[in-house]
Chains A and B, each alone.
Chain A
Amino acid sequence: MKRPKTTYPDISDILQRKAEGRRDIARRTFGEKIAMMEALRERLAPFKRLREQRRAAKPVRRSGP
């Protein structure tokens, strides 16, 4: 039995815009990139806390008997 052919949307324009965005960011000055990272680190802090809590909650693996 032949599988029905699925038609997927063309996302090349989305990928192109993302690539352009990355290039724009890469072209920013050193200082602008650091400022951006400092702001990003603040926004990401809750995720980092969650990651650390998950790691802390993991049982410690012991090797050998």
Chain B
Amino acid sequence: MGMKQTLDVINRMEADSVIGRYAIAGAVAAYNYVEPTVTEDVDILIAFDPGHRLQTGLITLGPILSYLKDKGYSDFRKEGLLIEGWAVQFIPVANDLDAEALAAADEVDLEIHPNEGSVRTRVLRPQHIVATALRVGRPRDHLRIVQFLEEEAVDIEALCGVIHRFWLRDAWLTFLRRAGIADPCKIKSVL
């Protein structure tokens, strides 16, 4: 029981078309690039499937939960649905930034314990992890951005492009001012 088995279940969901394209997001995605921080859950960004939309326009995770319940996964923690020891949060693509992040996600062969073999998965790229942290904007998200910048784990040109494309300039400048960091994107302040 562990992340390998969790991802095996999620890969099976994708193969069975219960979910569309997916990628690991959030704190676990950041593990691919920077020093890890403890987290209780794994965020899985999933492609929006029109079949999962109710008549009210709201998105339902019903088909996903029903599929997993049939497989014996129905234990909820406040962090998410427990799958092989990890609380999993399925997060549907909710804006253009998410859509680009998912489309550009990196394919990786992940080996956690050598005796288990590896698992193929996708993980968000650094510029999208940082941009998403910027958009969410909690203090812990800002800490994550500082980590990426300090550890030089993000391509600055790619990050500046994402900030520009998704209108995150104000959030970026606010973050830089609070963190006391000079702007590597050299965006002109309009605040």
Contacts and interface: CB of A to CB of B under 8 A. Distances in A.
Of residues A22, A29, A30, A37, which shows the largest number of chain B Cβ atoms within 10 Å of its Cβ? A30
A35 B112 CA distance: 6
Interface in A10-46: 22-23, 25-26, 29-31, 33-38, 40-41, 44
Tell me the interface secondary structure of chain B in the complex. loop
Nearest to A38: B2
B38 A25 contact: no
Interface footprint category on A:
10 to 19
Tell me the interface secondary structure of chain A in the complex. helix
A31 B111 contact: yes
B113 A37 contact: no
Interface stretch (B14-22, B26-34, B64-72, B155-163): B26-34
A33 B113 contact: no
Interface of A: 22-23, 25-26, 29-31, 33-38, 40-41, 44
